[in-house]
Structure 1
Amino acid sequence: MSASLTLPAPAKLNRMLHIVGRRDDGYHELQTLFQIIDVCDQLTLTLREDSEVSLTTPVNGVVHEDNLIVRAARLLQRSNGTSQGVNLAIEKQLPMGGGLGGGSSNAATVLLGLNKLWQLGLTREALAKLGLQLGADVPVFIHGHSAWAEGIGEKLTQVTIDTPWFVIIHPQVSVSTPLIFQDPELTRDSRPITMARALQGGVPEWRNDCEAIVRKRYPPIAEALDWLAQYAPSRLTGTGACLFAAFESEKAAQTIAELAGQRWPTWVARGLNTSPLQDALGC
């Protein structure tokens, strides 16, 4: 076993996000369709000779102890009683707080990578259960496949959906997810739909119930959504700030991305059904 692993941590898009209720504990009941995309952070995990967990590339604005990467490694240590340690390094591509799942994906990559590096032999189901303690989106990255999700996002059913090219725009504002979900005007009573109905796509089945509130509270996001909608139906991912539109070809996406890039940070990404992390781990 090599003493080091370098692994991708891919982003996701919420192709749709419906809020169908609110639980007594304050969490919201969702229906969402996750799609992995090929824009990734990259993490390098290197064994240490002691039991320390060290992030060698601190992330600006995030306290070391609060970083999901560090928390994921320490959670795995505690839950398995291992005395092994690790140095963690990250090359960031994904914007923080962009609705692309970057932090959750980073945590999932750490759990999967350390499971292999520390030779723990845990199943994906066990790792996903651990990951849920870190965030509702972590399990989808553990399982590494496009998925229909319900509950708070943890009840996953693997699906295969179309894989268009996406233009993704970051309007360079920071959205507070808790504030969006606490907003009294947020739609919380969307009528539940079946997975089969959702997979047919189209409007109004594919929408994001957070979008109306985000538009109202963050005018730069509304502006970017309206700009992108000139070329293809645009939609928020998660609670934002990132938004996206789908295109049939890389060329078409690149053309619009070049225009968008004159105003905002912009990416072109390919939709995937299987995470590149699966290939990197050989499973």
Structure 2
Amino acid sequence: MPAASQAPRKFIGLPAPAKLNLFLHVIGRRADGKHLLESIFILIDLADELDFSLRDDGAIVRTGDLECEAENDLCVRAADALRKAANKPQAGAEIHVKKHIPAGAGMGGGSSDAATTLIALNRLWGLDLPREELARIGEALGADIPFFIRGKNAFVEGIGEIITPMDVPPAEYAVLWPGRGVSTAKIFSSPSLTRDSESLKIAIFSDFLRNRWPELPGHNDLQKTAVGLEPAILQALDALAPFGEARMTGSGSAVFALNRTGSAEPASLMERIPVDWRFFSVRSLPEHPLCAWTRSAEEESTGV
């Protein structure tokens, strides 16, 4: 990857990796209605690909795969927020996105794209903002964005803003997306959603991962409500049953299980699922592929 001193005018094929929630507990609700969560987020090697090119006219142009109007796209909003924070209103870029992460899957695709946008344009525009400043900009756009900017598997608390790096054993996962998303807003507004899971300390989950892996910790409090809204999620969970315990990631609709066999595409599974579903065999990542781009000089010298 080019060094900042080379003053590049473009970056090609930068990754925006997906994430899985090993569990997701809803432990309460704030006075403003936002839910308090506990979860373990892990990075996986399924990733969108982003290209960035400098523009001299101050425009932010979004090309490639789009899931909404360009002006509402999270990458465009991230780019605009970055240049406002840096007081560089004339900074421009073309952002091209090739999507591999399904939309509405609970795998953080849009948030990861925005995080890669902040990391890449911080370097392309020569801003040199520190990682925590990028995370602060990202937090205003989406709760999951700071996780991808910090770039480590983590125990996540609060509304997603409390992020503690955490060691998670490397593993392969079978992931199945049932061809459609489910509304996160409808899940969190549903009267059937339980909001009183016990709050547990990170040490409890660390001990669990050391002593009981590959058993998955906790559960996903959103899963039952999501299945009621989208029955295809239950079908996907049943389809992954041969792998062992399967559960939904995030607010869905993708589901996953530990893939202990290492099989890329089990023939029996592929024969059973509808043609518009997508199956992925993925590996966990120890850190974000662009993590080095956000490290401070001190962290580089100590190897953090």
TM class by shorter chain equals over 0.9
The 2-side partners of 1:205 and 1:168 are apart by 17
> 1:133: which partner in 2?
140
The answer as to whether partners of 1:35 and 1:147 remain within 8 angstroms in 2 is yes
The answer as to whether partners of 2:134 and 2:149 remain within 8 angstroms in 1 is yes
> 1:76: which partner in 2?
82
Alignment partner of 1:237 out of 235, 249, 256: 249
Counterpart residue identity of residue 254, structure 1 = A
The 1-side partners of 2:219 and 2:124 are apart by 40
The answer as to whether partners of 2:243 and 2:259 remain within 8 angstroms in 1 is no
User: Which secondary structure does the structure 1 equivalent of 2:121 belong to?
Assistant: helix
> 1:198: which partner in 2?
205
Deviations 1:102-136 (A, max 9, x none): 00000000000001111111111111011001110
CA shift at 1:204, angstroms?
8.2
Number of matched residues?
Answer: 278
The answer as to whether partners of 1:260 and 1:266 remain within 8 angstroms in 2 is no
Counterpart residue identity of residue 224, structure 2 = A
The 1-side partners of 2:95 and 2:143 are apart by 23
CA shift at 1:227, angstroms?
2.2
Q: What is the percentage of aligned positions where both structures have the same residue?
A: 38
The 1-side partners of 2:243 and 2:265 are apart by 10
The 1-side partners of 2:43 and 2:268 are apart by 24
- TM-score with structure 1 setting the length: 0.94
> 2:25: which partner in 1?
18
The answer as to whether partners of 1:10 and 1:277 remain within 8 angstroms in 2 is no
Correspondences of 1:1-283 after superposition (within 5 Å): 1-6=7-12, 7-59=14-66, 61-82=67-88, 83-199=90-206, 200-201=208-209, 205-250=217-262, 253-256=263-266, 258-262=267-271, 263=273, 264-278=277-291, 281=293, 283=295
CA shift at 1:249, angstroms?
4.9
**Gaps (5+ residues) in structure 1?**
none
The 1-side partners of 2:285 and 2:119 are apart by 19
- TM-score with structure 2 setting the length: 0.87
- Superposed CA RMSD in Å reads 1.6
